Amino acid sequence: MNEFIPLTWHDTLYLAPELILAAMFLILIVTDLFLPQRMSRAVIGWLSLGSLLLSLGFVIWRMIDMNPSGVSAEEAAKAGQAISLLGASYRVDDYGNLLKIIFLIGTSLIVLLGLGSTQKDEAVTDKAEFYYLLLPAAAGAMIMASSGNLVTLYIGLELLSITSYVLVGLRKRSSLSAEAAFKYVVTGGIASAFVLFGMSYLYGVTGSVSLGDFPAALPQAFADYKALVYVGFFFLIAGFGIKIAAAPFHSWAPDVYQGAPTPISAFLAVIAKGAALAAVFRFLYSSAFFLSGGSGKQAGDDVFFALLVIAAAAMLVGTVSALRQKQVKRLLALSGVANAGYLLVPIAISVTIIHSNNFSEFAFYLIAYLLMNVGAFAVVTVIARAAGHEELKGFSGLYYRAPWTAAAMLIFILSLSGLPVTAGFFGKLFILLGAASVQAYWLVAIMVVSTVISYYFYFGIIRQMFMRSNDEEEDAIHVPTVTGVVIWICAAATVALGVLPGPLMKGIDAVFSIQADLFVR
Amino acid sequence: MDQFTQTAWLIPLFPFAAFLLLTALGRSYRRAGVLIGSIGSLAALVMSLLVFFERLDPDAVDYSDGFKWIDLGVYVLRIGFEVTNLNALMLVIVTAVSFLVNVYSAGYMKKDERITVFYGYVALFTFAMLGLVLSDNMLVFYIFWELVGVCSFLLVGFWYAKPAARAAAKKAFIVTRIGDAGLLLGVIVLFWYMPGHALDFSSIHNVFSEGQTGAITMSITTSIALLLFMGVIGKSGQFPLHVWLPDAMEGPTPISALIHAATMVAAGVFLLARTFDIFEASAAAMHTVAYLGGFTAIFAATVALAQNDIKRILAYSTISQLGYMVMAMGLGSMTGGIFHLFTHAFFKALLFLAAGSIIHAVHTQNIQEMGGLGSKMRITTWTFAIGALSLSGIPPFSGFWSKDLILAFALDENPFLFVIGLVAAFCTALYMSRLFFIVFMGKSRLQQQAQVRESSKVMTIPLIVLAVLSVGAGFVETPWNGWLGGWLTGGGEEVHASAAAIVASIAVGVLGIYVGWLMFGKGSIERGAAAARMPWLANLLERQYYMNEFYNLMIVKPVRGLGKGLYAFDEYVIGGAVRLIGFTSVAGGRVLTRMNNGQAQVYGLTAVIGLLVIIAAIVGRRFW
């Protein structure tokens, strides 16, 4: 048992990224109240962006601090030690920091996207809420990546979930949005129930909620209560499976993505999904992973195998369901289901001696996925505004009406379908090579098959874009500047990572160490 | 000291920038397009000359630099460039010919609607060729090797409205592909067996150079060498894959000069020089190279005797001269091969451009329809004469020196190949004098006499420059001055000089021209006499030994038949399977869409049932 030590003033510095978001959240609520009614809420958006970037700066500063260059190996190891706070319930380490950077950059892009699209969306009555509610949501995701015990994990999950329920329902003048929010609350409630149920079983058999205690306690608990351990793990996986939107727990995703404001759909697809994946990654590698070693080998293997099955199901169901989808946001939701499957693969194939860079594979594809998905949703905001609907045929003739945006969309689609020279290609390639190196050939086959099937609907979009629309000669589409910035940041980074994947992959490998950063001890 | 060498990677980027600019500008900027293409190649030429002069310093060391492109643990793919004396020489050859062809095309292609596209392709080709020359490892080399192939395909088929051009482009691509498949296999085998999977040329040199062959066994070395040689056979038009090169003459004439005479077809010889250590390590491979080169030299030279299309004659002559180079390599004389590549680049580019000037004036390629052009096109005639004399091996023109070096080497190493070389040299002199006398002397057989005029300055000046180079280029290596050999190989190769070889080489050259003059100039030997006495031989030569027919019968038709069979298999078996998969996917999509019916309670139920199924499947399998 870790002794509980209350926070000192010095410790608050370690928590600065999260605390900044919380404080700014409160300040912005009050600011919103006092701002005159007729004044544009864009200022709140820029302030939110500022606080996200400030928080990002602190995370990066912490990371540099923990990875000093030019010192002896001993000092580097000392500096790289995880900082454990509040009785080991909260951890600041490179695993969490890397993911926080991804989440914060992603949320910043979402805020920018909101400034470009939601700002002009008549269905959203309270525009300020859109911006400042993203702050606690991002903080929730960060807490999930940093949690050291099940309770903190659950708090992070709920903080993220509850704020996103509100965000989904922000288009108050649209019944679709209300319906989506309702469905999200209900399925989210089921997910929380599953997660809590699983956690309570694990607590029951081990007598601890701390991830750090599991490696020692679980093998004994498994020897005593086989069935209960199984139930605990499977319910947890199912609960997170709903949040990740992996098949067969994905049914809510198309409805919710469709109803939510488009930037929020992107947020759910990238940050909410990424945070749940991050939680699963950390949780399994401090619990089930240690079962695989000893007498509980069978159970540990089963848990990872269940994850593999879910990954495979997500890839197949996601791509196959998307085949007949004509609504862009539903299509992207289902493509997100398939991508959840790809992202689960590096977690599920388990760390072995011959294959140990699971995390860099995971993080690389998460970054690639963030870029191509946020970019694609950004293009959708532009198209939807011009066409007045979100059907696939809104893309028709895009090349003739906005050639540069069409070019960017082409990059995102190439990346989504995993073709070179884009980040998505290398992301999938690394995961594929990882799966092949542990001889999971059936999984490799499923990845390849689902990728090939996905070409069908991805190329449908390309065909639409380059096909001249039959309607009368339409005018050029106006792309708001901030949205254009988001699109081109994503496109440029996608291509850059597609040409030179090495430095990022190397960088992640250099910073991240399984011993110091992943395992909670 | 070697600041230009270190920035040599910039050289290919000039033409590449020109290509991008030309592509971006589109077709309307005709004059600007010509200017951009020419400036791009001129900049590359200037840089190359600067690098070349730096390399003249006897203390210059080879320089290479690059970066890791993809690092997959054991497999590291690098992109890099290397400057050696050989590379520097090739840089100058490529950029010089490219620049002159750019200038010349301003006149030759003036009326073509797609002139900017043409300049774009030429710039892309120059980029690819320079990249190939500078590459420091086999992988990058191979990528550029394919890229020059693509450019050649695009340019041969440039006038794609002509069915013959389309067919020729396709043929060029497919036939060289056969060789490239061998080359790729060679690279893969090399990659597999090299210590540390290194593919860079300096590691190859270290592994295979004398005394260190232990790392890779003899038989593997031989198979690597022969596989690489397949690439050479395809690209450099060696027998039996030479058939694409004469057909490639369907492309615009400046392209024939640039790609199919001076640079790309020489890439095979360059590859031999770059991987010379592998070949030297295997006597069997060296013999294959030498004999195949010798055979190609004499085979193509005899075919050239009976052709009537001016460009086809020059194409067969190119094949024959490439055969010379390959033979020299096979005999162990890298200097001889590269020296002949160097001189040949200039005089053959000259001959092609002069031929282009003629075609531009008379609008036919059939030499029997020309005649008497000497008085009307003075500059073209004189420069063509210089090129022809150089090719025929008459001193002091450059072709003499390089051919003599090869023959002298052959006399020492392998008298049989020396004789072959002499016979080929005789044929060369004969077909060139035939060409010259029929085209420029005698009575005009043209349809429209009045219109024949000398070409404009923009076309004749490159001819004059190339003529000067054709005369002067030979003096870098003469029997009494082995400068080039010493510079290229670091003094490793001794000078082969033999009075016998010089006398014999001059003798066959003069004899060939004399016989040609008797037959086609003076007319004292009946032109048709030989053909009348041996009609089968004339026919055989005119039909190019029936190689095309042979391929058609033995390969193309059976492959087509096989293709038809496979198509049926594809259509009914594979296609059926694909349709089945498609059908199942779509049906699956329909079912899944129906399950996604918008009812939140169904979603919850799906999740719970899904969980139960997973538990049952995974835990349940433990009890079965």
Q: Is A324 in the B-facing interface, judged by CB distances under 8 Å?
A: yes
C-alpha closest to that of B276 among B223, B225, B343: B225
pLDDT greater than 60 at residue A473: no
Alpha helices in B441-492, H assignment, sequence order = 457-472, 483-489
Greater confidence (A468 vs B454) lies with B454
Per the CB < 8 A criterion, the answer to whether B121 and B27 are in contact is no
At A22, the amino acid letter reads A
CB distance from A241 to chain B under 8 Å?
A: yes
Give the DSSP H/E element, type plus range, for residue A90: strand A90-92
Whether B603 contacts chain A with CB within 8 A: yes
Using alpha carbons only, give the angle B300, B260, B339 rounded to the nearest 5 degrees: 75
Summarize pLDDT for A206-255 with one digit per residue, the tens: 888 888 888 888 888 887 888 888 888 889 999 999 999 988 888 888 88
Taking CB atoms and an 8 Å limit, are A186 and B600 in contact across chains?
yes
For chain A, say whether B596 makes contact (Cβ under 8 Å): yes
Distances (CA, A) of B335 to B219, B268, B330: 27, 15, 12
Residues of B with CB below 8 A from A355's CB?
Answer: none
Cβ within 8 Å of residue B607, ≥6 positions away: A187, A190, A238, A241, A242, A248, A249, A251
Cα–Cα distances in angstroms (integers) from residue A245 to residues A176, A339, B447, in the given order? 20, 10, 80
DSSP per residue, B251-262: S-HHHHHIIIII
Over residues A32-53, mean pLDDT? 88
Chain A residues whose beta carbon lies within 8 Å of the beta carbon of residue B617: 309
Residue B248 near residue B260, CB atoms below 8 Å: yes
**Least confident window among A472-481, B228-237, B562-571:** B562-571
Q: Give me B88's structure tokens.
A: 């520097």
Which pLDDT band, with edges at 50, 70 and 90, does A275 fall under? very high
Tokens linked to A75: 């000092």
**DSSP labels, B46-90:** HHHHHHHHHHTSTT---EEEEEEEEEETTEEEEEEEEE-HHHHHH
Q: Write out pLDDT tens, residues B20-76.
A: 888 777 667 777 888 888 888 898 898 888 888 888 877 777 787 777 777 666 667
Strand-pairing partners, residue B79, are B67
Q: What is the mean pLDDT of residues A9-32?
A: 88
Instruction: Say which residue, A279 or B168, is predicted with more confidence.
Output: A279
Q: Does B618 touch chain A (CB under 8 A)?
A: yes
Please check whether residue A297 touches B, CB under 8 A: no
Which range among B51-55, B344-348, B470-474 has the greatest average pLDDT? B344-348
Exposed/middle/buried for residue A471 (C-beta within 10 Å: 0-12, 13-18, 19+): exposed
Distance from the Cα of B366 to chain A's closest Cα (Å) equals 47
A298 neighbourhood in chain B, CB within 8 Å? 622
The answer to whether residues B333 and B405 touch, using CB atoms and an 8 Å cutoff, is yes
Q: Determine whether the interchain pair B615/A254 forms a contact, defined as Cβ–Cβ distance below 8 Å.
A: no
Mean pLDDT of B213-231: 81
Best A186, A236, A308, A320 member to test B by mutation, with max B CBs in 10 Å, is A320
**HSE of B354 in the Cβ direction (CA atoms, 13 Å)?**
30
- Residue A278: pLDDT band (50, 70, 90) is very high
Distance from CA of A196 to the nearest CA of B (A): 15
With beta carbons under 8 A apart, name residues in chain B contacting A321.
589, 592-593, 596
Q: What is the pLDDT of residue B212?
A: 53
From the list A252, A306, A323, which residue is nearest B614 (CB)? Answer: A306
Hey, which bits of B277-379 come out as E strands?
none
User: Which stretch, A11-20, A100-109, B411-420, B560-569, has highest mean pLDDT?
Assistant: A100-109
Exposure of A224 in the CB half-sphere (CA atoms within 13 A)? 10
In the stretch 312-351 of chain B, residues with CB closer than 8 A to chain A read none
Mean pLDDT of B360-367: 81
pLDDT score for A394: 82
Count the Cβ atoms, other than its own, within 10 Å of residue A261.
25
Average pLDDT over chain B, rounded to an integer: 81
Least CB–CB distance from B585: residue in A302, A453, A505? A453
Q: Does A309 reach chain B within 8 Å, measured CB to CB?
A: yes
What's the 3-state SS for B84-100? CHHHHHHHHHHHHHHHH
DSSP character at residue A149:
B
Instruction: Compute the count of residue pairs across chains A and B with CB atoms less than 8 Å apart.
Output: 88
Distance from CA of A431 to the nearest CA of B (A): 12
pLDDT for A1: 45
Length of chain A: 521
**pLDDT: which is higher, A327 or B585:** A327
B residues 37-96 closer than 8 Å to A (CB): 68-72
| B459, HSE (Cβ side, Cα atoms, 13 Å) | 26
The Cα B179–Cα B145 span in angstroms is 11
CA–CA min distance B154, chain A (Å): 24
Is B583 in the A-facing interface, judged by CB distances under 8 Å? no
Separation in Å, CA of A307 to nearest CA in chain B: 10
A506 touches chain B (CB under 8 A): yes
pLDDT digits (tens, 9 = 90+) for B172-183: 888 888 888 888
The residues pairing with B70 across neighbouring beta strands, listed in sequence order, are: B77
Over residues A135-154, the pLDDT tens digits come to: 999 999 999 998 888 999 99
Selected for mutation to probe chain A from B68, B585, B624 (highest A CB count within 10 Å) is B585
Per CB-CB distance under 8 Å, the chain B contacts of A238 are 607, 610-611, 614
Name the residue in chain A with its Cα closest to that of B582.
A453
| pLDDT exceeds 50 at position A303 | yes
Summarize pLDDT for B519-548 with one digit per residue, the tens: 777 766 666 666 666 666 667 666 666 677
- Percent of chain B having pLDDT more than 90? 1
Test the A interface: residue of B70, B618, B624 with most A CBs within 10 Å: B618
Residue B111 DSSP code: T
Are A302 and B586 inside 8 Å of each other by CB? Answer: no
Which residue is closest to B586 within chain A, CA to CA?
A323
What pLDDT, on the 0 to 100 scale, is given for residue A339?
92
Burial of B78 (0-12, 13-18, 19+ CB in 10 A): middle
Q: Output the CA–CA distances (angstroms, integers) from residue A385 to A173, B61, B493, in the order listed.
A: 16, 63, 74
**In chain A, domain spans:** 12-518
**Of all helices (H) and strands (E), which one includes residue B243?**
none
Q: What is the DSSP secondary structure assignment for residue A70, as one 8-state letter?
A: S
Pick from B226, B122, B234: nearest CA to B171:
B234
Say whether A248 and B613 touch across the interface (CB within 8 A). yes
What pLDDT score does A135 carry?
94
User: Looking at residues B333-360, what average pLDDT do you find?
Assistant: 88
- B579 interface with A at CB cutoff 8 Å: no
Residue A91 confidence (pLDDT) above 70 = yes
Q: What residue of A is the nearest CA neighbor of B621?
A: A302
Distance from CA of A374 to the nearest CA of B (A): 25
pLDDT tens digits for range B280-324: 888 888 888 889 888 888 888 888 887 888 888 888 899 999 998
Write down the pLDDT at residue A197.
Answer: 93
Structure confidence at residue A163 (pLDDT): 94
Q: How far is CA B598 from CA A123, B463, B603, in A?
A: 22, 78, 8
**Is the Cβ of B219 closer than 8 Å to some Cβ of chain A?**
no
**Using a CB-CB distance cutoff of 8 angstroms, which residues of chain B are in contact with residue A190?**
604, 607-608
B592 chain-A contacts, CB cut-off 8 A? 317, 320-321
Taking CA–CA distances from A258, the nearest residue in chain B reads: B598
Q: What is the pLDDT of residue B529?
A: 62
- Please say whether the beta carbons of A493 and A408 come within 8 A: no
Cβ atoms of B436 and B384 within 8 Å: the answer is yes
Whether residue A502 and residue B69 make contact (CB cut-off 8 A), yes or no, is yes
- Looking at the predicted complex, does its ipTM rise above 0.85? no
Tell me the shortest Cα–Cα distance from A48 to chain B, in angstroms.
33
Residue linked to tokens 């999984």: A443
CA A489 – CA A135 distance, rounded (Å): 22
Q: B604, A194: Cβ pair inside 8 Å?
A: no
Q: In angstroms, what CA-CA distances link B608 with A237, A373, A420, B588? A: 12, 29, 39, 21
Query: How much is the pLDDT for B55?
Result: 82
B396: left (phi over 0), alpha (psi -120 to 50) or beta: alpha
Question: Is A212:A2 a contact under the CB 8 Å cutoff?
Answer: yes
| DSSP at A83 | E
Kindly report, residue by residue over B239-254, the tens digit of the pLDDT: 888 888 888 888 888 8
Q: Closest CB to B592: pick one of A298, A305, A320.
A: A320
Question: What's the pLDDT band for A105 if we cut at 50, 70, 90?
Answer: very high
Question: What is the DSSP code (8-state) at residue B556?
Answer: I
Which residues in A lie closer than 8 A to residue B580 (C-beta atoms)?
none
> Residue A289 pLDDT > 50, yes or no?
yes
- Residue A468, chain B, CB below 8 Å: the answer is no
B194: number of CA atoms within 13 Å, CB side? 25
Tokens describing residue B290: 């030498």
B619/A187 CB distance under 8 A: no
Average pLDDT of the residues in B508-515 = 84
Of A187, A309, A453, the CB nearest to B603: A187
Question: Which pLDDT band holds residue B214 (cuts at 50, 70, 90)?
Answer: low
Eight-class DSSP state of B1 = -
Residue of B nearest to A302 (CA): B618
Chain B residue with minimal CA distance to A499?
Answer: B69
Backbone phi and psi for residue B571, each to the nearest 5 degrees, phi listed first: -65, -45
Q: CB neighbours of B186 closer than 8 A, spacing ≥ 6?
A: B224, B225, B226, B227, B228, B230, B231
